[in-house]
Structure 1
């Protein structure tokens, strides 16, 4: 539900705008009203409304000064004086209404404000892509064992090893063969939890105990729950060390 604050030092005009907004935009919730700029600014910080309808000439702080302190709240100026229009739009005013405000002009303002509440199409597409990417992440593997098919949770896998045309997934106590190649696996794994450390290995970062350099200067990965020692190739070492 959209929210708004209305600030005007003239009670009749304040009540009039509240009434017309309630009639023309019934879903808008007026969360606060103010009689001066200082009160308006305090109430904006308290309620964080989507919009602030601000009279310009008010005691304490004028509407332009209040607008300078707004962050997420968008300002609509409502005034009897047109000479402030340039200054208002320099402060990123969403609209500038001249008193007395007609229903027709207020409707146009409301349409503009409603459009601003619509999600950015590019941002929406990005969010949807993120959701789709999340859906594609692996959580389980179907593996064959004799005449049975078993489920192995991704969290159980310590590392993946490329083997001929297949890939082995290795847990603390078992090894299973799957047909998915490493280059496809790495695209479906969370980059914060899994890393490719060699052209033939992907490791779960949670399974790594430490990395050691041998007598020949080669880096090797030791695991917490498995005796296998994995190679860390130079081409992946820099990326691995940044994690």
Structure 2
């Protein structure tokens, strides 16, 4: 099944170049429309109900942030030459914020972030509007400060007594919550339980391999290996066969 996307950029050459890069990097994506102003982008979203929208920020008519707020049910990625709109972009729930000139390596990282949202074996319907939290409040490991972290920037959650260890890409902290309570609040296409006490971000998984009756997952970052219990091993190995993770 194709993933439908639109591109909105007021520079036609850059829009066409982005479309070519996306097609080459992710053949499952169909570029359903390319438009060059904000009003046309809103119309394309309403008409096509795309899965993805790649939006420039500064465009005639409505800007990309205004379009993003109107793109309900569509995953939004910003591609722009201006870095000052990043906070506004993530406030509306953007998946990523890319700066021009865009490299193939940077686009690949974004695609790896996007893929878990289109796990077709996931029970959640692709167009179902679900209000997943955009930020989680975390206590620092030393307990002397609080900070916020986006779920997509968490590598894994692990039980630690009455708390959860939150292992982020850049920071580590704790949350006072049970794993089951947190799991019910997170996107099931992005966070997968691999053990009674561990929830992993599928986007962070480099590969999964069998080990005894269970398995082991290796993460892209921090050289971390996590044990997959026998109960959850089949599910993870199946996702490797589907291509969600490497085997």
Q: Give the structure-2-normalised TM-score.
A: 0.48
TM-score normalised over the length of structure 1: 0.49
Larger helix fraction of residues: 1
- Higher-Rg structure is 1
